[in-house]
Structure 1
Amino acid sequence: MSSLVFPRQNRLVRRSDYTVCYDKGRRLFTKHFVLFVLFDLDRTASPEGWRLGLAVTRKTGSAVRRNRVKRVLREFFRLHRALMPDDVDVIVVPKRHLKPERVTLALVTQELLPLLPELRAHSGADDRTGAPGPEAAVADGSGPVPSGPEAATPHTAPSGTDPTGEVRPNSAREAETGAQ
């Protein structure tokens, strides 16, 4: 098979797969995207490998603009497929404030590439259920939340915000639609 294609085996296609990833997956936030990541123990022996789902809603723009965002995201994951762990489902949801005309491969690479090593590190962990671990992913440049003695003090942030002050949706539906 040619390396220029994005094969069906690397796509999330069933609604039930999306729902499980939304409900049980871990959320990673960047400036323009929300990623729902689910490490799936049941598929480790299967040849499917990692799977990607894209949830680009009408709030992103017209069909032409939505398709451009999806093409750029698929191209990023196609180019970096060697860095993806084999047993992970990833759903990428653009945030509401994303301007589709500004989406380039360089922008997507700048935001999502730092998350890939973290995905590989977590795929080898014992707890791959998607539950948030002691290190929360913050891809806005502030780095991961430290683990150890300094992590023993809880971060007190208002409901619906993360420790960096960014407003986070309370449910998967809000993240997908961009509702606040």
Structure 2
Amino acid sequence: MGDFKLEKKERITKNSEFRTITKGGSRYTTQNFSIIIYRNNREIRRLGISVSKKVGGAVKRNRVKRLVREFFRLNKDQLPEDSDFLFIAKPGSIQLNYSTLSDEMLEFFKHFSAV
């Protein structure tokens, strides 16, 4: 049961780490997100989320972040190891519910792993 926990070490929190990932990572886009994947030298997957004010007010931005964190928490074992994932929300992401977001992300990562 502890495997489903999103631990502090699995979060990207520092501004310098966000900049490093943005500059050095590979950028991919889905309908509602830009996803930057950066290979790290750690043996863990880490998550960063960026939701600008253009997406909506604080309540809507926080909801999008909760949905992305929940997806990551439940599906992190299916994602590539040794990687940092930065999810940048697009304005359409506030319309999503969890199942739609999950379907979009699983489809992306299925395609990504085939590349």
Structure-1-length-normalised TM-score: 0.58
Cα distance in 2, alignment partners of residues 99 and 38 from structure 1? 22
Instruction: Give ranges in structure 1 of 5+ residues lacking alignment.
Output: 122-134, 136-180
Cα distance in 2, alignment partners of residues 78 and 11 from structure 1? 11
Deviations 1:83-124 (A, max 9, x none): 02220001001113x151x22111111211123245556xxx
Runs of 4+ off more than 3 Å: 1-5, 117-121
Structure-2-length-normalised TM-score: 0.88
Q: 1:7 to 1:110 in 2, by over 3 A?
A: same
Are the counterparts in 1 of residues 25 and 38 from structure 2 also a CA contact under 8 Å? Answer: yes
- How is 1:150-165 mapped onto 2 (pairs within 5 angstroms)? none
Deviations 1:24-81 (A, max 9, x none): 10011101110011112x224xxxx000000011111111111100001100111101
SS at match of 1:53: strand
Cα distance in 1, alignment partners of residues 10 and 93 from structure 2? 27
Is 4-13 or 64-73 further displaced after alignment? 4-13
1:56 aligned partner, one-letter code: V
Are the counterparts in 2 of residues 83 and 117 from structure 1 also a CA contact under 8 Å? Answer: no
**Paired residue for 1:50, among 8, 30, 45?**
45
Bigger share in strand: 2
User: Is structure 2 residue 78 aligned with structure 1 residue 83?
Assistant: yes
Cα distance in 2, alignment partners of residues 20 and 39 from structure 1? 11
Q: Which residue number in structure 2 is paired with residue 71 of structure 1?
A: 66
- How is 1:10-49 mapped onto 2 (pairs within 5 angstroms)? 10-40=10-40, 42-44=41-43, 49=44
- Deviation (angstroms), 1:18: 0.6
1:58 aligned partner, one-letter code: K
Q: Which has more radius of gyration?
A: 1
**Paired residue for 1:114, among 91, 107, 111?**
107
Residue identity over aligned pairs, in percent, reads: 30
Could you say what the CA RMSD is over the residues aligned between the two structures, in angstroms? 1.9
Q: Which residue number in structure 1 is paired with residue 57 of structure 2?
A: 62
Instruction: Give ranges in structure 2 of 5+ residues lacking alignment.
Output: none
Are the counterparts in 2 of residues 84 and 119 from structure 1 also a CA contact under 8 Å? Answer: no
Q: 1:37 to 1:115 in 2, by over 3 A?
A: same
Deviations 1:121-157 (A, max 9, x none): 6xxxxxxxxxxxxx6xxxxxxxxxxxxxxxxxxxxxx
Q: Which residue number in structure 1 is paired with residue 7 of structure 2?
A: 7
SS at match of 2:36: strand
Aligned residues: 115
